């Protein structure tokens, strides 16, 4: 498969059209094709982001007769004194620090398993991918039932341990609520990153493995010196996407715990949504979002720096 | 390269403009603000065919009764209703007639969404107090019905435990209530003596269900004299007593920390001897036959309390035909329609005239308990524009307390948060 990809003729080779379109038409076509995406980005991304930046420094409310006016850094001084914000920040990092390495490693293991040419690998690929195409809200509701005191998880624990393990009320216990959500989140999203690892694995030339075989390497050496270096670009991509996804944890919290018990699962995005919609404090929610933006940006930049091309 | 960019930019602007025009085009459709003789009516009950059916009947009758105006219904699912109203208000596209959950009325009135109602005083006086949405002394909304909370119990559980069955006139005292819990628990027939219904994660349920206990202890969500602080009300001695009491119900094993998804079904199936729930479950109570009874809450010091205020009707300030909208509301408040609501679903009719027409609601009737209870014990949630912040903060504090958080610390933080929000909002005009 890998060799096929390499020798497939590129588009330029097959279509050397005799009459090239003029630069003008080409530009117009290009603009036409890009415009739907640009319009959507402008309306649903750039405008909201700009609004968020501006609103964070005002006293804007969702429902209020008072005119919006600038109040400087008041929202931020309120934010930094808000114990819930710090708690949410800690929870968000806790989630990311556990989920990012576990999920990417687990996804790589799965990718290596389903990358072999054995019979039935397609069935496994499909199985691992099913949770990804299921709505996260549906998955969260199902897991909420499974985590109940008399739910499937506890029944299963009792059965396999011959009643020696008595499970807890997973989502209602401060120390288990977040780990329970982590476990379920990894299970749900691991298939997606497995597919990305898989695409990375298939770009590695089979010739390299053949050469390694000739050199008499074992499986670990092959992984260490052929596979791992070959996954360089994929690695960076996966690291950045998982980190951003983990930091913006929201749906599972909203469906399964509402930030509880006692704020044990409150995250920054969850807090922003709660403050912005339920408490109608648009400006304060914007300030939280802005702080979140700076946070994600910093983390991504640090990651870019650490994974940069050192040559 | 520059040329390319220029063309691309121009094309993008063109496309964006076309898109904007398209959006604007969609928006210029009939606004239903009364100018063209059409009054649009928004309601939250798309998911409730019984209630929507009565509204449709009223609208049909009203449209047939005169030929100047036509009322047109738009029903929304309850979950997205408030967002739709806020969005429509921002876009200045509110319908003429709309319904609102009672505690939101002051918020919407303060924001200028709603116009005060000028209904005949005789008509307003007939209504249950808790069906009137007042803000700054003016009537902004009026309800066709109210809801009520009650302690639903297996009568046999009380009789077997040797506990007096309380009535609206003679509710349990705090001591009697605690003894009842102890005796029922000692009997051991039910896993839980009282299910508080804590499985519902909806914010409004937490405030609606548990703030009456706080008020029964003598505390409140906010200071109802000034509406400028919650300090002393939500974290005073009475409030801390309430929080410790609520927490002890769970700690001492009378009530589950987190109820099942349907606490009432658990109660019917014998998992609990009593359940704290609402009138909407009174239909399911009949599954227990004579063993199912509805009781008033205990008097925890400042009298028994239940939450008051359900969905109510209002007129938007942007309505161009307020007179016609008032006529519609007057028309809809006829006893026969109010009785229809009480007949088709489990709600309390808003007037005595309607109660006479709805079977079971007449004095001495089997459903009468809820009307008497509501008349005597209903307490409105604080009618302040700052309510959305109060309710989210209170609900979260209560959830934390049930989960075992320190009462004083949690309530002090809640008071601090609320006071800060009030300050940030200029005390919501108070």
Task: Give, for B410, the enclosing helix (H) or strand (E).
Answer: helix B407-424
All CATH 3.40.190.10 domain ranges in chain B, comma separated = 38-146+309-380, 149-306+386-429
The answer to whether the beta carbons of residues A256 and A151 sit under 8 Å apart is no
What's the pLDDT tens digit per position in A215-234? Answer: 888 889 989 999 999 998 89
Q: Has residue B43 got a pLDDT over 50? A: yes
Q: Do A74 and B201 touch (CB under 8 A)?
A: no
Cβ–Cβ gap A281/B424 under 8 Å? yes
CA A195 to chain centre: 14
User: 78-97 in A: which are within 8 Å (CB) of B?
Assistant: 78, 83
CATH number for the domain running over B38-146+309-380: 3.40.190.10
DSSP secondary structure, B41-96, as one string: EEESGGG-HHHHHHHHHHHHHHHHH-SS-EEEEEE--HHHHHHHHHHHHHTT---S
Distances (CA, A) of B3 to A29, B9, B16: 14, 10, 20
Q: Which fold has domain A76-306?
A: MetI-like fold (1.10.3720)
Rounded distance between C-alpha atoms, residue B393 and residue B414, angstroms = 6
ipTM score of complex: 0.77
Integer angstrom CA distances of residue A294 from A48, A72, A96, A301, B81: 16, 18, 16, 10, 33
> Is A23 in contact with B3 (Cβ distance < 8 A)?
yes
CB contact under 8 Å between A65 and B425, yes or no, is no
A280: which 2 tokens? 């109608």
Instruction: Give the sign of the dihedral formed by CA B190, CA B193, CA B194, CA B197.
Output: negative
Q: Which residue of A has its CA nearest to B393?
A: A279
Q: What is the DSSP letter of B223?
A: -
Chain A residues lying within 8 Å of B425, measured CB to CB:
59, 61, 64, 66
Minimum CA–CA partner of B418 in chain A:
A279
**Inter-chain contact A34–B4, Cβ cutoff 8 Å?**
no
CB contact under 8 A, A31 and B399: no
Please list the pLDDT of chain A residue by residue as tens digits (311 residues): 444 444 554 544 555 555 666 788 889 999 999 999 999 999 999 999 999 999 999 988 888 888 888 998 999 999 999 999 999 999 999 999 999 999 999 999 999 988 877 778 888 888 888 999 999 999 999 999 999 888 899 989 888 888 787 778 888 888 999 999 999 999 999 999 999 999 999 999 889 999 998 988 888 998 999 999 999 889 989 999 999 999 999 999 999 988 878 899 999 999 999 998 888 889 999 999 999 999 999 998 998 888 887 65
Helix crossing, B203-217 with B237-251: angle to 10°? 120
CB contact under 8 A, B392 and A27: no
Q: Which of A63, A74, A260 sits opposite B399 (nearest CB)?
A: A260
DSSP secondary structure string, B91-129?
TT---SEEEEEGGGHHHHHHTT-EE-----HHHHHTB-G
How confident is residue B37, by pLDDT bands cut at 50, 70 and 90? Answer: confident
Q: Is B112 on the interface with A (CB under 8 A)?
A: yes
The topology under which CATH files domain B149-306+386-429 is D-Maltodextrin-Binding Protein; domain 2 (3.40.190)
- The pTM assigned to this predicted structure is 0.83
Considering only CA atoms, which of B131, B60, B118 is closest in space to residue B312? Answer: B131
In chain A, what residues touch B15 (CB-CB under 8 Å)? 32, 35-36, 38-39
CB contact, 8 Å: A43 with chain B?
Answer: yes
- Interchain CB distance below 8 Å, B392 and A38: no
Domain spans, chain A? 76-306
3-state secondary structure of B224: coil
pLDDT given at position A173? 87
Confidence of residue B20 (pLDDT cuts 50, 70, 90): very low
CA of B94, closest CA in chain A: separation in Å?
Answer: 14
Q: Do A83 and B413 touch (CB under 8 A)?
A: yes
Q: Does A141 contact chain B (CB < 8 Å)? A: no
- pLDDT reported for residue A40: 95
């Amino acid at each position: 498969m890998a060799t096929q990809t390499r020798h497939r003729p590129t588009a330029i080779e097959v279509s050397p059209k005799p009459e090239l379109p003029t630069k003008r038409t080409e530009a117009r076509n290009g603009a036409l094709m890009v415009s739907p995406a640009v319009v959507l980005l402008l309306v649903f991304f750039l405008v909201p982001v700009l609004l968020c930046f501006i609103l964070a420094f005002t006293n804007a409310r969702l429902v209020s007769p008072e005119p919006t006016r600038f109040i400087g850094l008041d929202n931020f001084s309120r934010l930094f004194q808000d114990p819930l914000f710090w708690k949410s920040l800690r929870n968000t990092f806790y989630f990311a620090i556990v989920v990012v390495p576990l999920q990417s490693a687990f996804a790589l293991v799965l990718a290596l398993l389903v990358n072999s040419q054995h019979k039935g690998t397609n069935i496994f690929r499909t199985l691992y991918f099913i949770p990804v195409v299921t709505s996260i809200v549906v998955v969260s509701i199902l897991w909420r039932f499974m985590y109940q005191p008399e739910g499937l998880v506890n029944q299963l624990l009792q059965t396999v341990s011959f009643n020696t393990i008595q499970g807890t009320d997973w989502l209602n216990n401060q120390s288990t609520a977040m780990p329970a959500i982590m476990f379920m989140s990894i299970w749900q999203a691991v298939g997606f990153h497995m597919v990305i690892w898989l695409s990375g694995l298939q770009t590695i030339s089979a010739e390299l493995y053949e050469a390694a075989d000739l050199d008499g390497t074992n499986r670990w050496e092959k992984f260490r010196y052929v596979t791992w270096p070959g996954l360089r670009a994929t690695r960076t991509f996966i690291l950045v996407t998982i980190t951003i996804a983990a930091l913006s944890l929201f749906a599972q919290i909203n469906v399964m715990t509402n930030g509880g018990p006692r704020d044990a699962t409150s995250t920054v995005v969850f807090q922003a949504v709660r403050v912005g919609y339920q408490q109608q404090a648009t400006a304060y929610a914007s300030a939280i979002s802005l702080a979140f933006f700076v946070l994600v940006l910093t983390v991504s930049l640090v990651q870019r720096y650490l994974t940069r091309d050192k040559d | 390269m520059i040329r390319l960019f220029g063309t691309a930019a121009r094309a993008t602007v063109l496309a964006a403009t076309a898109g904007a025009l398209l959006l604007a085009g969609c928006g210029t459709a009939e606004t239903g603000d009364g100018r063209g003789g059409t009054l649009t009516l928004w309601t939250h009950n798309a998911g409730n065919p019984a209630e929507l059916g009565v509204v449709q009947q009223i609208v049909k009758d009203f449209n047939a009764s005169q030929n100047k105006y036509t009322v047109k219904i738009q029903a929304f699912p309850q979950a997205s209703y408030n967002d739709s109203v806020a969005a429509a208000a921002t876009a200045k596209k509110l319908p003429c007639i709309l319904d609102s959950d009672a505690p939101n009325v002051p918020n919407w009135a303060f924001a200028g969404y709603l116009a005060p109602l000028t209904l005949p005083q005789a008509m307003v006086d007939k209504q249950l107090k808790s069906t009137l949405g007042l803000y700054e002394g003016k009537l902004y909304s009026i309800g066709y019905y109210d809801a009520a909370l009650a302690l639903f119990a297996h009568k046999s559980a009380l009789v077997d435990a040797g506990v007096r069955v309380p009535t609206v006139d003679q509710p349990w005292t705090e001591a009697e209530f605690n003894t009842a819990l102890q005796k029922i628990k000692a009997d051991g027939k039910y896993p839980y003596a009282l299910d508080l219904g804590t499985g519902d994660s909806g914010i409004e349920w937490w405030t609606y269900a548990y703030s009456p206990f706080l008020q029964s202890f003598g505390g409140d969500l906010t200071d109802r004299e000034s509406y400028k602080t919650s300090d002393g009300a939500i974290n005073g001695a009475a409030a801390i007593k309430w929080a410790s009491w609520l927490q002890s119900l769970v700690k001492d094993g009378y009530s589950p920390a987190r109820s099942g998804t349907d606490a009432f079904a658990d109660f019917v199936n014998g998992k609990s001897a009593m359940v704290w729930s609402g009138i909407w479950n009174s239909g399911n109570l009949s599954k227990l036959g004579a063993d199912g009874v509805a009781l008033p809450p205990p008097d925890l010091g400042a009298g028994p309390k239940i939450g008051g205020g359900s969905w109510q009707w209002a007129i938007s300030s942007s309505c161009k035909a307020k007179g016609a909208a008032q006529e519609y509301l007057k028309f809809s408040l006829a006893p026969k329609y109010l009785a229809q609501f009480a007949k088709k679903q489990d709600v309390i009719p808003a007037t005595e005239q309607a109660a006479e027409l709805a079977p079971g609601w007449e004095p001495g009737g089997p459903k009468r308990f809820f009307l008497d209870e509501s008349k005597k014990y209903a307490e409105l949630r604080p009618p302040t524009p700052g309510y959305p912040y109060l309710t989210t903060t209170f609900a979260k504090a209560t959830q934390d307390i049930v989960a075992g958080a320190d009462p004083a610390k949690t309530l002090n933080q809640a008071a601090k948060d609320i006071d800060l929000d009030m300050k940030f909002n200029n005390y919501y005009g108070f």
